[in-house]
Chain A
Amino acid sequence: MSLAFDLALCALILGAAGLAVAGRNLFGSVVFYIVYGVLIALAWVSLGAADVALAEAAIGAGVTGVLLIGAWQGMKDAGGLEAEITKSLPVRVLAGLGAAALGALIGFAVLSLPGHDGLTGPVAENQPALDLGNPVTAVLLSFRAYDTLLETLVLTAALAAVWSLTPARFWGGIPGPKHTTRPDGVMASFGRLLPPLGVLVAVYLVWAGADQPGGAFQAGTVLAAVWILIVLAGLRDEPRLSSLILRLIVIAGPLVFLGAGLAGALAGLALGYPEGHARTLILIIEYALTLSIAATLALLIAGPARRAP
């Protein structure tokens, strides 16, 4: 039964990916990509990795989908959507054969991998020292904390890169158009109803992430979604990008993370957590990261400034 489910799921994933990549209608491709992202999240559930499924559904399908729709709209408004050209048959056959060969080679390499015990054992062995129940959080914020720190810096760098595309006269201005809705309309009411619940879910996701699937990235995405809803509902306008408070929020997470690592150096344990305080420190870092990730994601979606400050 579960094999039948997995086979059907894999077939659906490949079908959705095929339609997203090869479809004729560009907007249809974007929609099929979002469907594909949700199906991939289901694949992660089937593999028993709920935290990856959450990240994939929220970031891979949700945020990426919003970005792609935004890019489609932006390019359409500018009249810059390219028409697709069909390449000649020999070229297509050759490219198809090349891609198939690449897939077959990778598939063959996967099947001929030697058996191994994985890293579940070593992680479980060292996990009690951190007092965390969730091995993934232990890896993200302790064993491979470098990766996570650099990842948050990659997000910040991407935001700086997006901002660098601002036309000079809008620098430091406000991104996106101002949204106005009827104050007693459905959208505005929904925008008032959902945010408190969203904030609660985000706080819970970080707190639960210490022992169960969850964590800063998933929670940050929820918070970013709450902010986008508030803006779309016309309850608040996007912030001025030159605002100091905004910029401090963006770098608060990496700063706290780096600070915790360097403070360890003063206590004689560089880039380490002092014994017995790991859980508390990790939770503090995660809450700071959540705030920064939420702000960065929301600003990445908003894009460069389009109105003068």
Chain B
Amino acid sequence: MNAMEWFIAGLLALGVFFYVAGTVGLLRFPDTHSRLHALTKADNLGLGFIAIAAGLHWGDGWIAGKLALVWLLTLFAAGMAAQLVARAALKAEGGE
């Protein structure tokens, strides 16, 4: 493995670490709001690292650009879904 491959492997490991952290948070945190916080923040960061690793692995500008777009859309979608779930949970608790 050359330096680049080690770097990519490191990014992938970092991405997997954040995914595992997010999953542990989902399973261990006590209520909906803290679980959402674990899922959206940690997982999107993990996905970002994995997307960067994949972009470097393919070494192609077009593919890297598409991956960046996919990541951006996932961020938007996850943020919106988290907001909706949080509001629904708040309503269920009698807040709002």
Contact = CB atoms under 8 A, between A and B. Distances in A.
- A and B: interacting chains: yes
Interface of A: 186-187, 190, 193-194, 197
A193 B76 contact: yes
Interface in B80-96: 80, 83-84
Q: At the interface, is chain A mostly helix, strand, loop or mixed? A: helix
Nearest to A189: B80
Contacts of A187: 80, 83-84
A193 B76 CA distance: 10
Interface residues on B, range: under 10
A197 B80 CA distance: 16
Interface of B: 73, 76-77, 79-80, 83-84
A197 B83 CA distance: 21
A298 to B, nearest CB: 19
Q: At the interface, is chain B mostly helix, strand, loop or mixed? A: helix
Contacts of B84: 186-187
Contacts of B76: 190, 193-194
A187 B73 CA distance: 14
A190 B73 CA distance: 11
B76 to A, nearest CB: 7
Contacts of A190: 76-77, 80
Nearest first, the 7 closest Cβ-Cβ pairs linking A and B are: A190-B80, A186-B83, A186-B80, A187-B84, A187-B80, A190-B76, A193-B76
A101 B73 CA distance: 46
Nearest to B84: A187
Nearest to B79: A186
Nearest to A197: B73
Nearest to B82: A186
Contacts of B77: 190
14 contacts: A186-B79, A186-B80, A186-B83, A186-B84, A187-B80, A187-B83, A187-B84, A190-B76, A190-B77, A190-B80, A193-B76, A194-B73, A194-B76, A197-B73
A213 to B, nearest CB: 14
